[in-house]
Chains A and B, each alone.
Chain A
Amino acid sequence: MSAKTEKGVNPEVKVIDTTRQAVPFDTANIPGPKMARAVMPAVSGKMLAKAKRPLLIVGSEISDPEVLARVVSLGKAGIQIASVGDSYAYLADKGLDAHYANMHALASYLCDPQWPGLDGKGGYDLVVFFGITYYYASQAISALKNFSHIKVISIDKYYHPNADMSFGNLKKDIFLPALDEVIAQLPKK
């Protein structure tokens, strides 16, 4: 159930506006002058589609079956997954290109241009993430923000000020359709 914010859109279809409530989810998590641009799902989706070697990072909050289903869709669309926390336990038998990683170590390695990547095939040009404990993800990606050139996009239901792009704070009934719209931008496999 997705809608594009272009001309000629069906007026009955709900517009998923993910740019509202673009304030840090943890009230005092204001890092500095540079904070993520709040974007619509199609924008994130297109960035993901364009990326040559994207990495999706998911964490322990993907146990919810509805969220998990979207992870699987993204994985099946061919995106490599870094599975942090205990999220691998939910992805183990799904036939995805998923690798366990420790989030903190991963953030460190992503800042290292010499890191051969999770599969040994080289670095990544885009990091997309969701489903990680909010403050944990926010801290970890502050390393990427300040010490790397990798673009980081949050497609989580929280506003992540340290990402380059993020949704605002979303309720679940907006979050799931937003994810679907992101997925819809990806070339079919």
Chain B
Amino acid sequence: MITKKGSFVIEGLENVQINIGKVGAGEEQIAEGPTPRPEIISLRSWDHRILDRYNAVYTPTGDTCDMCTYGKCDLTGNKEGACGIDLEGQSSREALTTTIQGAACHSAHGRHLLNYLIKKYGADFKIDVGPSNLQAPITETVMGITPKTIGDFIPVLDYVEEQLTQLMATTNTGQEGASRDFESKSLHAGMLDLLGMEVSDIIQISCLGFPKSDENAPVIEIGMGILDPKKPVVVCVGHNIAAPAYILDNMDANNLFDKIEIAGLCCTAHDMTRYKRTAKIVGPMTKELKYIRSGIPDVLVTDEQCVRADILKEAQKLHIPVIATSEKITYGLPDRSKDNVDDIIEDLVSGKQAGVLLLDFEKIGELVPKLAMKMGPIRKAKGYTALPTEEEMKKLVSKCTQCLQCTKDCPESLPISDAMVAATTGDLTKFEELHDKCIGCGRCDYSCPVKIPILNVIEKASQRVIWEEKGKIRIGRGQIGDPEIREEGRNLVLGTTPGVIAFVGCSNYPNGTKDVYDMVEEMIQRSYIIITSGCATMDIGMHKDKDGKTLYERYPGRFVKGNLLNTGSCVSNAHIAATTIKVASIFAGRKTKGNWEEIADYVMNRVGAVGLSWGAYSQKAFAIGTGCNRLGIPVVVGPHGTKYRRAYIGKPYKKETWNVLDGRDGSVVNVEPAPEHMMITAETKAEVLPLLAKLCFRPSDNSLGRAIKLTHYIELSEKYLKKMPDDWHIYVRNEADLPVAKKEQLMKLLEERGWKIDWEKKKIMEGPLRKVDVSFQPTNVPRLCKEVKK
């Protein structure tokens, strides 16, 4: 059908009824792809494509199920329980529940923020994330709309909430029975998580003046050692900026930044510094209990997510009043939102109440600084701290019987008794080492049969290093802007940028925080682009080189090779995934609106990006990873990640799972395994580095890119594992793919494998899986092939 444009005149209208639906201003919201607002089933075939290649691998934490009153059912050996579900099904069901929890966290955070920001700024407040054609890439791709105002996000969150309710329903006993489709639902939940995060961050960036794709966001200090404990100290813990923003505004209006130290723990800290640079960051959630026990905070403000459940109990012991500011975490405290600020302060200062629930932001803003000014001097005078004195510590460490119970209760199995023994001789170095590896969980406190308060001992013994804990990070910049991506296109094509690696997630590291610093340093020197967020950002910023410089000071924050970016808090992770969508739009002109499958297919086959969550602990982290997987981005998790129960692991030896179609004519092409896995774990830092390089390979690599990527894969494997990778040759399609510095040696090795080399022409005649053809258009989706299209 040929559509012609022109004009016509309607001469008569007789008995015509004209019904008009919506009237408004602005651009058309026309979906360009087949799946705007996908339901649970809408992208199922895409999910199955992923699952067929990247098998779901289950490593259950328990062999039983106790979800319903038929149980507990023993499912060992993959038996079925009373309801008919087997261990595979139960494991995938648990993975789904985890993903839903993560997605709900971020989306509920978004909903809370959205309601509040609309009330304060109006639904017509324009979105502004910086120089970008696609202002909300994930929203566009999932929903099929182009949001322009914050009010445009209302239907987005409506959709997310509807989907999450539907998904949660499927986890009830007697629902889905196939693990394959539990996985599809997980992937759906993961996608919803990305969407919820994007909404959350975009609205706060737009309304609260956060940096907008700002590569020059300033570098600020972070660490337990940066606050002045002689001043009143306010610490905000959690993820939601709404309440802390009021406190910061109040302090600003009353010139209190010199008088009161205000800092954040965990993602609230990121967003506080994006809001006002004068706020400070103590650190990631591993510092929560440690910092409270030190006794330094004079007021604790909690909001939501990753907040310890025992904060009230711990704070109470040290006379630190707790102000709970979110209905999500209320600790049984009295709701005094309607009361007079001064009355509340009196009750808190006198100790009549250990804390209050306060949901009125204006009041929070007024109360907290005032409370801090009162509590500060009182608490400083008393010197409240949970840490033992030097005398007490000497006694405590000598009580240790080396029973190892604490090590058995420690998530990292830390050798605590060795440190105790050393400390009896006055040597504190083992404790100092332990302090960085200790994630501050406090489980050891319950384990010691002779009642040594172990965490307090570790902290006391490490005072020297704690006061020196001063790092630097770059304030969260938000999105990656279009001009940066466009400029970087050349490097990505020519291979001068071998890939993009995202260091994200929580701090449950197997061996301390220096690992992530070392990994970033290694890869950034190799010109990978490193993007960070959340707790990982903070840990990376805590270590320094021999000149005393942190990585954020040494490397700029532009989206260009060898640079180090911080997107911001956990919800800023959405922008990392969104960048891959932008690549598809900018470089290939792919339509995004409502077009998830095509975009994800593009990303999986072409965009060499991988995420590493070395210390992931939460449901949210798992949801983010799963969402990235649905978009075609592989993720590596630290060893604790096996406790998520489910991974997506590729089988290189099953050649038939590595077929793609050539979009030009629909022909089947067997390709090298790239990316080899979608979600996998690794045991140590040394193992991860070559794995990250390998997971940046893609079938569409041109030879320049492939040669550089291979160079790093081989070099990293030789450096850290003392061997060449066993599968390097699989990624060689022709001689131009060979690292230029080692070409001859590698060709000899290939010949030893039985490949045929023409030494005169220096060409590989026989051996590779396939030829190189830059014009080859890899796709996993038959309908995207030209032949089938017509």
Please list the residues of chain A having a beta carbon within 8 angstroms of any beta carbon in chain B: 25-27, 30-34, 59-60, 84-86, 88-89, 92-93, 99-100, 102-105, 107-109, 111-112, 114-116, 132-136, 139-140, 142-143, 145-147, 169
Stretch at the interface among B5-13, B151-159, B210-218, B642-650: B642-650
Bound form: Cα–Cα A134–B640 in Å: 10
Please measure, in the bound complex, the distance between the C-alpha atom of A99 and the C-alpha atom of B654, giving whole angstroms.
19
Residue pair B683, A133 in contact (C-beta under 8 Å): yes
Task: Tell me the count of chain B residues lying within 8 A, CB to CB, of chain A.
Answer: 49
| Contact status B62-A32, CB under 8 Å | yes
Complex contact B61–A139 (CB within 8 A): yes
Residues of A within 8 A of B24 (CB): none
Give the residues in chain A near B687, CB-CB below 8 Å: 60, 84-86, 102
Chain B 43-58 against A: per-residue CB contact (8 Å), 1 yes, 0 no? 0000000000001011
Asked if B413 and A26 sit within 8 Å, CB to CB, the answer is yes
B677 and A25: CB pair below 8 A? no
Known: A30-B62, A142-B60, A146-B77. 12 other contacts (CB 8 A): A34-B63, A34-B76, A60-B683, A85-B682, A89-B720, A100-B725, A102-B687, A107-B57, A111-B57, A136-B640, A139-B643, A147-B88
**B443 to A, closest residue via Cβ:** A27
- Residue from B60, B408, B643, B683 in contact with A85 in the complex, judged by beta carbons closer than 8 Å: B683
- Asked if residues B686 and A85 are in contact (CB atoms below 8 Å), the reply is yes
The residue of chain A having its C-beta at the shortest distance from the C-beta of B76 within the complex is: A34
A58 CB to nearest B CB, Å: 11
Query: A88 contacts B723, CB within 8 Å?
Result: yes
Partner pick for B59 among A34, A139, A169, CB 8 A cutoff? A139
The answer to whether residues A25 and B408 also contact, given A89-B722, A146-B77 and a CB cut-off of 8 A, is yes
A57-B660 Cα distance, complex, nearest whole Å: 34
Q: List 15 A-B pairs, Cβ < 8 Å.
A: A27-B447, A34-B63, A59-B683, A86-B685, A102-B682, A109-B651, A135-B640, A139-B61, A140-B59, A142-B63, A143-B57, A145-B63, A145-B76, A146-B58, A146-B76
| B686:A99 contact, CB within 8 angstroms | no
Query: Least Cβ distance of B617 to chain A in Å?
Result: 13
Q: Which residue, B411, B640, B649, B677, has most C-beta atoms of chain A within 10 A? A: B649
Interchain CB contact under 8 A, A147 and B58: yes
Docked complex Cα distance between A88 and B642 (Å): 21
CA separation between A132 and B722, bound complex, in Å?
19
Top 9 closest pairs, chain A to chain B, by CB: A32-B63, A139-B642, A85-B683, A86-B686, A136-B639, A92-B722, A108-B57, A89-B722, A139-B59
Interface assignment of B64: CB less than 8 Å from any CB of chain A: yes
Partner of A104, one of B57, B88, B510: B57
For the complex, what is the distance from the CA of A97 to the CA of B444, rounded to whole Å? Answer: 41
Known A84-B683, A85-B684: A133·B55 in contact at CB below 8 Å: no
Choose one: B87, B408, B654; the contact of A26 (CB below 8 Å).
Answer: B408
B721 on interface, CB distance cutoff 8 Å: yes
Q: Smallest Cβ distance from A162 to chain B, in angstroms?
A: 9
Residues of A within 8 A of B680 (CB): 102, 104-105
Task: Report which B residues bind A (CB closer than 8 A).
Answer: 55, 57-64, 74-78, 87-88, 404-405, 408-409, 411, 413, 447, 510, 639-640, 642-643, 647, 649, 651, 653-654, 677, 680-687, 691, 720-723, 725-726
Give Cα A59–Cα B687 distance, bound, in whole angstroms.
11
Q: A105-B677, A112-B651, A136-B683 are in contact. Are A33 and B63 (CB under 8 A)?
A: yes
Our pick among A59, A134, A136, A146 for the contact of B60 (Cβ within 8 Å) is A146
For A116, the closest partner residue in chain B by CB is: B653
Whether the Cβ atoms of B649 and A104 lie closer than 8 Å is: yes
- Chain A residues with CB under 8 Å of B88's CB are 147
Q: Are A32 and B58 in contact (CB under 8 A)?
A: no
Q: How far is the CB of B477 from chain A (nearest CB, A)?
A: 33
Contact A89-B721, Cβ < 8 Å, known A25-B408, A147-B58: yes
Partner of A143, one of B59, B62, B408: B59
Known: A32-B74, A60-B684, A84-B683. A27 touches B57 (CB 8 A): no
Choose one: B58, B405, B408, B654; the contact of A114 (CB below 8 Å).
Answer: B654
Q: A86-B687, A146-B63 are in contact. Are A100 and B721 (CB under 8 A)?
A: yes
Q: For residue A30, which residues in chain B have a CB less than 8 angstroms away from its CB?
A: 62
Complex Cα gap A68–B685 (Å): 20
Residue numbers in A under 8 Å from B654 (CB-CB): 114
From residue A81, how far is it (CB to closest CB) to chain B in Å?
13
**Which of B55, B409, B653, B722 contacts A88 (CB under 8 A)?**
B722
Which A residues are CB-close (under 8 A) to B639? 133, 135-136
B720 nearest CB neighbor, chain A only = A86
Tell me which residues across on chain B come within 8 A of A143, comparing CB atoms: 57-60
* CB-CB under 8 A for A100 and B726, given A32-B62, A32-B64: yes
